[in-house]
Amino acid sequence: MDSLGAPRPIPDIEGEAAERVAARIGITRLIGAVAVIREVAPDIGIQAVHLLLEVARKPGITVSELMRKTGLSQSSCSRNLALLSAQHRLGKPGLDLVYTQEDPSERRRKLARLTDKGEELVSLVVDSVR
C-alpha cells in the first residue's frame, strides 16, 4: 500500500518474462536458420542471404526491385546474384541457388528465381523457424 492506503500496482513481471522468453525463442530459431544456410554456404554474407530471401518471397523479381528492397547498389546486387547463381565471377562455381533470365516483355530487364537447390534450402530455412 502507498501512503494513502491504496494498493501499489504490481509490475507485470510475468508479461515481461514471457516477452523475454519469446524473444529468446525467436533468436534461437533465427540462429537455426543461419546454421541451415551456413551448411550449404559457409562463407555467405548477409547481403546474399537477403537477396536469396527476397527472391524466395517474390519469384520473378526484377534486379531493380531487388536493389530497392535490399538497398544494394547495382554492382553489389550483381556480385551477390553471381555468387548465388551457378557460375560465379571469374569462372568460379557459384552456389546454384538463384538464376536470372531475360524478361520476355522487356529484354533489358532481368528476372530472378530460385533454382531447385534454392527452393530446397529455403524450405529448410522456413522449417527451421517454425
Q: Does the residue 5 lie in any domain?
A: no
Q: Which one-letter DSSP state was computed for residue 97?
A: S
Least confident of 6-10, 28-32, 121-125: 6-10
* 2 lies in some domain: no
Report if residue 41 sits inside a domain.
yes
Is residue 4 included in any domain, yes or no? Answer: no
pLDDT, the chain, mean: 89
Strand partners, 101: 111
User: Per-residue pLDDT tens for 44-88?
Assistant: 999 999 999 999 999 999 999 999 999 999 999 999 999 999 998
Range of the structural domain that residue 27 is part of: 13-129
Query: Is residue 32's pLDDT more than 60?
Result: yes
Residue 3 covered by a domain: no
The distance of Cα 103 from the centroid of its chain, to the nearest Å, equals: 24
Q: 3-state DSSP helix/strand/coil percent for the chain, to nearest 5?
A: 60, 15, 25
Domain membership flag for residue 54? yes
42 phi, psi to nearest 5 deg? -60, -30
What CATH number is attached to the domain comprising 70?
1.10.10.10
- The verdict on residue 6 lying in a domain is no
Question: To the nearest whole percent, how much of the chain has pLDDT over 90?
Answer: 68
Residue 129 CB coordination number (10 Å): 13
Tally the domains of the chain: 1
Indicate whether 8 belongs to any domain.
no
Q: Which residues contact 97 (CB under 8 A, 6 or more apart)?
A: 40, 41, 52, 84, 85, 114, 115, 117, 118, 121
